[in-house]
Amino acid sequence: MTTAPLRVALIGTGFMGRMHAHAWRTAHRFFDLPLMPEPALLVGRDPQRTAEAADRLGFAEAATDWRAAIEREDIDLVDICTPGDTHAEIALAALAAGKHVLCEKPLANDVVQADRMVAAAERAAAAGVVSMCGFSYRRTPALSLARRLIEDGRIGQVRHVRAQYLQDWLSDPDAPFTWRLDRDRAGSGTLGDIGAHSIDTAQWLTGDDIVGVSAMLRTFVETRPVLEEQVGLGGRASAEAPRRDVTVDDAAAFTARFGSGALGVFEATRLATGHRNSNRIEINGDRGSIAFDFRAMNELDFYDATDPAGEQGFRRIQANEPEHPYADAWWPAGHGLGYEHLFTHQIVDLVRAISDGTAVAPTFADAARVQRVLAAVEHSAARDSRYVTVEGETA
C-alpha cells in the first residue's frame, strides 16, 4: 500500500546502475510498499549518454555531477553504483545531508574509508537516516532459506565452509583494460569484486566472523590493451592496441578461521575458463550440510545427518514455494526467479526499513567487517601466505 514518494538519485549508469534502476522501477509492482520509489535523478559522466540512459531507464532528470543529488531538497535517497574510489566521498556527503544511502559493495577501497563511512552512518541513524551496503546475493530465496535452516540448528555446529566464485571474462590476455583492473579505482581485483561476496555470504549464513586468514593472490596477465571506447565486460582488442599495467589481482585463494573455530576455504578468480558466473558455497555442520550454486539459483541442497541411515543423502529443495523468502510476491510455485530479482528484494527491504525506522542488513558496519577480511587477505598474501589475524577480531 504505497503512500508518500521516496525520491531516488542513482549515481552510475553502468551494468550495476542499470540493475539498480530496474529494481527501483519494479519493487512496488510486486510488493506492497509503504513508500513509492520515484526514480528522480540519474547521474553519469557524459551529458548526452546520461540523458539517453535516464530516458531509457525511467528517470525524470539527468545530471553529470553527483553533488546535484546531494544539494537537492527533493532527493530522499542516494544510490551509489560507481567505482570504489568514489564511494566514501559520495556516501559521506549524502549522509551529512540527511539522505538515505544504498552503496554497492565493496563498501570502500580500504578499511580507513570504510570506518569513516560506518561512523557517519551511525551518526545519521540517530536522525532516522538509513544506510545499507548492496551485497545482493543475500536476497536469493534459496540462500535466505539456508540461513533460516542454519539459524534453526538444522545442520548443527558449523565445522567447514567452502566458497568459490569463478568467472572467466578476463581469461583472454587480450581482453581490454577496464577500471576494475586499476587498484586506485577498484581497491583490489577479483578479491574485492567477487571474493567480497563469498566472504559476506559465509559470515552472514553462519552468523560467525572470520578472525584469521592465510592467503595467496596472483596476477596472471600483467598488462592489457586499452581501447578508446570501453563498453561492458569482456571482448577482445587488436594486437596493435597500446597496453596498460594491471595493478590488481586476477585470482585469490585463502584459508580462513572463524570465531567459532570452523575452517573456511575460499577461491575467487576471473580466469576460470568455462565459468561465466559460478558462485558456490557449501557449509558442513555436525548434524547436516547445505550446498548452493548460483547457476541453479532457485535450488538448495540440504543434507540431514539425523535421517535414518537408509534415507540419508542430499535432497534438493526448490526454493520457490510461497513460504520461501520473497517468493510469495512472484510467480506460481515452480516458476523460478532470476538475477534481477535479488536487487528488487534489496529495494523492498530497504524501503520498508526507511518507512519503519529500523535497521536493515547488511549495514555499513557489516560491510566494514568484510573490508577487514579483504585487508587481512592482502596482508597475508604480501607476506608469503603467513597467517594474519583480521583487524578487530580475536583468533
- pLDDT tens profile 17-66: 999 999 999 999 999 999 999 999 999 999 999 999 999 999 999 999 99
pLDDT at 209 over 60: yes
Query: Looking at residue 191, what is its pLDDT?
Result: 98
Domain map (residue ranges) of the chain: 5-137, 141-335+370-389
CATH class entry, domain 5-137: alpha beta
Tell me the whole-structure pTM to 2 decimals: 0.95
- pLDDT tens profile 241-289: 899 999 999 999 999 999 999 999 999 999 999 999 999 999 999 999 9
Residue 236 pLDDT level (bands cut at 50, 70, 90)? low
Query: Looking at residue 239, what is its pLDDT?
Result: 63
Query: Looking at residue 280, what is its pLDDT?
Result: 98
Higher per-residue confidence, 376 vs 359: 376
Query: Looking at residue 3, what is its pLDDT?
Result: 78
Same CATH fold assignment for domains 5-137 and 141-335+370-389: no
Written as nine digits, the cell of 244 is 596498460
Q: CB-based burial of residue 46 (10 Å sphere; 0-12 exposed, 13-18 middle, 19+ buried)?
A: exposed
Query: Residue holding cell 597496453?
Result: 243
Q: CB-based burial of residue 95 (10 Å sphere; 0-12 exposed, 13-18 middle, 19+ buried)?
A: buried
Residue 238 pLDDT level (bands cut at 50, 70, 90)? low
Mean pLDDT of 316-338: 96
Query: Looking at residue 395, what is its pLDDT?
Result: 65
Q: What percent of the chain has pLDDT over 70?
A: 96
CB 79 within 8 A of CB 10: yes
Q: Which candidate, 126, 244, 251, places its Cα nearest to that of 188?
A: 251
- pLDDT tens profile 158-196: 999 999 999 999 999 999 999 999 999 999 999 999 999
Query: Looking at residue 228, what is its pLDDT?
Result: 65
A 10 A CB-CB count for 105 gives: 24
Query: Looking at residue 193, what is its pLDDT?
Result: 97
Query: Looking at residue 229, what is its pLDDT?
Result: 56
pLDDT at 360 over 50: yes
pLDDT at 231 over 50: no
Q: How far apart are CA 125 and CA 127, in angstroms?
A: 5
Residue 130 pLDDT level (bands cut at 50, 70, 90)? very high
Residue 137 pLDDT level (bands cut at 50, 70, 90)? very high
Alpha-helical (H) ranges within the chain are: 15-30, 47-57, 67-71, 87-96, 111-125, 141-151, 183-186, 190, 196-206, 339-356, 364-381
CATH number 3.30.360.10 given to 141-335+370-389: yes
Calculate the average pLDDT of the chain. 95
